[in-house]
């Protein structure tokens, strides 16, 4: 199976925040942003493996800045690492200002798993990172995977060797 680079599956989606998307404070409702993140990441996963992939976990979501009604919101989804059947995907969220500047306001890290018609996991192409940021995210993906599997009860903490190195460094 041919390996791929992150830019081959890069997926960018821009949405306009409408009143129906907002909360009582007239800022974007967190659940709405999560749905957009899941959607853009799902398309990115599909482009990487050319197959249907389902959300296995949403690991790290940070809502750093409120997004106002009427804002133009751009979500950029990139695969940061592919394992056997799973792919870690970063979604970076930006708000566009009137002068065209893009300010990063949110981020999420999701894991998708490619499955066949019987919902069995399928092998996905390897990911070759190119830029410095892609290389950093690729290398740190292993400990995030172990954290997610430990929290899901699918990996014993004593077997999370990469994760343990973070604490050993302190």
Ligand X SMILES: CC(C)(COP(=O)(O)OP(=O)(O)OC[C@H]1O[C@@H](n2cnc3c(N)ncnc32)[C@H](O)[C@@H]1OP(=O)(O)O)[C@@H](O)C(=O)NCCC(=O)NCCS
Q: Which residue has the tokens 């899901």?
A: 152
Element (H, E) at 141: helix 132-151
Complex with ligand X: residue 98 or 118, whichever CB lies closer: 118
| CA torsion through residues 58, 138, 149, 118, sign | positive
Query: Are 104 and 92 contacting, i.e. CB atoms less than 8 angstroms apart?
Result: yes
Supply 109's token pair: 């890290």
The residue count for binding ligand X (CB under 6 A) is 18
Closest-by-Cβ residue to ligand X is 83
Least Cβ distance, residue 115 to ligand X (angstroms): 5
Among 15, 148, 160, 163, binds ligand X (CB under 6 A): 148
Helix ranges (H only) for 22-110 are: 30-49
Interface region with ligand X, contact rule CB under 6 A, candidates 92-100, 125-133, 134-142, 148-156: 148-156
Which parts of this chain interact with ligand X (CB under 6 A)?
Answer: 54-57, 83-86, 111, 113, 115, 119, 121, 145, 148-149, 152, 154
């Amino acid at each position: 199976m041919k390996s791929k680079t992150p830019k081959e599956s890069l997926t960018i989606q821009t949405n306009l925040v409408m009143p129906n998307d907002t909360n009582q404070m007239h800022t974007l409702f967190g659940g709405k942003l999560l749905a957009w993140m899941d959607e853009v990441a799902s398309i990115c996963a599909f482009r990487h493996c050319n197959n249907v992939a389902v959300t296995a976990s949403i690991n790290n979501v940070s809502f750093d800045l409120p997004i106002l009604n009427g804002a133009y919101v751009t979500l950029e989804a990139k695969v940061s690492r592919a394992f056997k059947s799973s792919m870690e995907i970063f979604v970076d969220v930006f708000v566009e200002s009137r002068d065209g500047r893009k300010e990063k306001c949110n981020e999420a890290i999701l894991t998708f798993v490619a499955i066949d018609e019987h919902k069995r996991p399928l092998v996905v192409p390897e990911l070759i990172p190119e830029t410095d940021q892609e290389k950093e995210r690729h290398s740190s993906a292993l400990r995030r995977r172990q954290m997610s599997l430990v929290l899901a009860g699918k990996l014993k903490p004593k077997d999370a060797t990469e994760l343990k190195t973070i604490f050993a460094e302190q």
